Amino acid sequence: MGTTQHDNRRILIVDDEIELLNMIVSILQDEGFQHIETAKTVAEALRIFDVIEPEIVILDVMLPDGNGYDLVRSIHRKSKIPIIFLTAKGEDNDRLRGLSLGADDYIVKPFLPQELILRLEGILRRVYPKEVLVYLQHCTIDFNKGLILRGDISIPLTATEFKIVETLNQSANRIVTIDLLCEAVWGDHVFGYENSLMAHIRRIREKIEESPSQPVSLLTVRGLGYKLITENKI
């Protein structure tokens, strides 16, 4: 059940209530999160932070040797990782103070387990977007970075080339008409852009094909449009 997209993310939970700490760990584990560390004090949290370098921290405001606000300041001096307050202090000024320190969310106890998961996953998706790789016969397209990867070589796509390849990939292995491609790149007024599209297609083939004059990944469907053939290994 639950998420698999972010189950490798390292999470640090800081709370001095042992039963609640164990409950949060159980909730996250049930959703597929595997790398979870816990701390009950500010000092312990900072020590563990330096060891595991977590990718998100969930913490309480009230701790035995200090408070979560000071802990956030200390963490943000080391890293700008996302932080979620999970606390019984639900007054508006407490919430505003936490958010003003750079916390990504502020959840008041008692809380619904699914609410915690939804907010946690939302932050992880925003801060750590899923890598989008599309595999072709002779290269890989990295849509996050706008690069064509061929062995050890990285070839950047221009903004127009990126939009063309992105549109083709949205209908991977199917025909995309010339008009639809022109509209995606140049807007509603597509008349007169066919020659420009052909020129861009030629340059894209030089980046993705081993033999651009004999393409195997970006095919012309004569009289209709183009087709991007992917390996479907994402």
Cα separation, 204 vs 195, in Å, equals 14
Burial 154-168, CB ≥16 within 10 A → b, else e: eeebeebbbbbbbbb
pLDDT of residue 144: 83
Alpha-carbon separation of residue 204 from 26, 39, 177 (angstroms): 49, 51, 17
CA 34 to chain centroid, in Å, comes to: 18
Cα separation, 84 vs 86, in Å, equals 6
| Residue 199 tokens, joined | 């020129």
Strands 66-67, 105-108: pairing kind = unpaired
Alpha helix stretches (DSSP H) within 59-177: 68-78, 92-100, 113-127, 159-170
pLDDT mean values, one per 10 residues, the chain (234 residues):
57 96 94 92 96 93 94 91 92 89 92 92 83 89 91 91 92 93 80 89 97 97 95 60
Q: Is 226 exposed, middle or buried (0-12, 13-18, 19+ CB in 10 A)?
A: buried
- Which class would CATH give 133-228? mainly alpha
pLDDT of residue 234: 42
pLDDT of residue 187: 78
pLDDT of residue 188: 67
| Number of neighbouring beta carbons within 10 Å of residue 234 | 13
pLDDT of residue 128: 79
DSSP label at residue 106 = E
The amino acid occupying position 188 is: D
DSSP label at residue 30 = H
Peptide bond into 110 cis (omega under 30): yes
Cβ–Cβ < 8 Å for 18, 48:
no
Strands 147-150, 140-142: pairing kind = antiparallel
pLDDT of residue 186: 82
Domain boundaries, the chain: 10-127, 133-228
DSSP label at residue 11 = E
Q: What is the CATH number of domain 10-127?
A: 3.40.50.2300
